[in-house]
Amino acid sequence: MKTVRDTPDLKDKKILVRTDFDVPVENGKIRQSLRVQKQKPLIDQLVLAGSKVLLVAHISAIDSFSVIFGELEQLLGRKIIFIKTPEDIAGFLAGSKPLGLLENTRTWPGEKDNDQSLAQRLAQGFDFYINNDFAVCHREHASVVAITKLLSVYAGPLIVEEVKQLKRALTEPVQDKIVIMGGAKASTKVPVIKSFLRNAQAVLVGGIIANDILKARGQDVQQSIVDDDAEKLLAGVDLTDKRLWVPSDFVIDDGKFLDIGAESIGRFIGEIRTAKMIIWNGPMGMFEKDKFMVGTKAIAEAIVNSSAFSIIGGGDTISAVDQLGLLGKFSFVSTGGGAMLMFLGNQKLPGLDALGYYE
Ligand code: ADP
Ligand code: MG
């Protein structure tokens, strides 16, 4: 995989940069800006070196970057030209301003279909392409994959860092590490659980995914939220595996298991204290409500107070931990949600593949 160190002299080069500005937005304001902050070093490096840089990114929470444009400029500490359509790129490249951002790529027909003609429209006039958006690497989209057929490609420093840290999670000795999984979307989490049941000391499970496992084991989960297809998804998982830890008690509201209970917290914390490496994705309960934040808070505190190397990821996990004021205390915070899970589940990511990572 070629990186920014391998690029030709950056001065006066026209560079297309896939960036990650996919932040949560509430009432027109960015709620959590980690992803934007992690783009700043590369943007600074390229602009200071005299490159002309077009940022290409998507956002899921809103349709248009116009809503948060001022905040983006502030977080990056730079004036940015807002480029409304791919047809306006040529004008930007001909002008004198060094930094532009193209409107939300997901609004361009063909982006999600990895359409080669959209990639062609984006690539026109550029010297090369840098991908610095790890969190989109599980998507086979035009600005991630098709574009790499048209320009020479380099991995940005964020991708290099993510891959290095997450690889560490896979290669650390089995007896030293534990994995904590929670939240929703079983389809993305089961492959990780499967992979780490063979490659970790313990997999501690909370959230909706714990309800799924309990239900599949034949336990009564009352009115709890479960994934419809959970049983099918869990098919390859040995539900009696001693390394698979599920909660033994819950905070129940209206018949729903909405947080792990005190006894489970105690057991989980005991295990956390023994680990040298901890990988965590997914809140233990419905943390958006204070009374169901208790399990997530206890787990977060136990991790940061342990001596383990800690890796966390997932949009809601990061939001929860940030809300607790603990985000800076984890050893590595991955910007990847689905991409991190796919990487940890030992699946091939199309975006990394397009950068030559698996060659
Ligand atoms: P991440 O974004 O960190 O990967 P997920 O999106 O998978 O996390 O899951 C977070 C969501 O799961 C939150 O909205 C939270 O309220 C919900 N959740 C967690 N546990 C429960 C539960 N027991 N019952 C209902 N919702 C839950
Ligand atoms: Mg989420």
Nearest protein Cα to ligand 1, atom 11: 183
Q: Where are the beta strands (DSSP E) in 41-107?
A: 52-56, 81-83, 99-102
Could you tell me the pTM of the whole model? 0.96
Predicted confidence (pLDDT) at residue 171 exceeds the cutoff of 90: yes
Q: Residue range 210-228: average pLDDT?
A: 95
Do the beta carbons of residue 313 and residue 281 sit within 8 Å?
yes
Domains and CATH numbers, the chain: 4-157 (3.40.50.1260), 165-344 (3.40.50.1260)
**Pocket of ligand 1, candidates 288, 316, 335, 342: which has the most ligand atoms within 8 Å of its Cβ, to mutate?**
316
Asked if 318 and 329 count as a contact pair (C-beta separation under 8 A), the reply is no
Mean pLDDT for the stretch of residues 245-272:
98
CA–CA separation, 338 and 320 (whole Å) = 17
Predicted confidence band of residue 38 (pLDDT cuts 50, 70, 90): very high
pLDDT > 90: percent of the chain? 98
**Ligand 1 atom nearest to CA at 284:** 20
Q: How confident is the model at residue 284 (pLDDT cuts 50, 70, 90)?
A: very high
Q: What is the mean pLDDT of residues 261-276?
A: 97
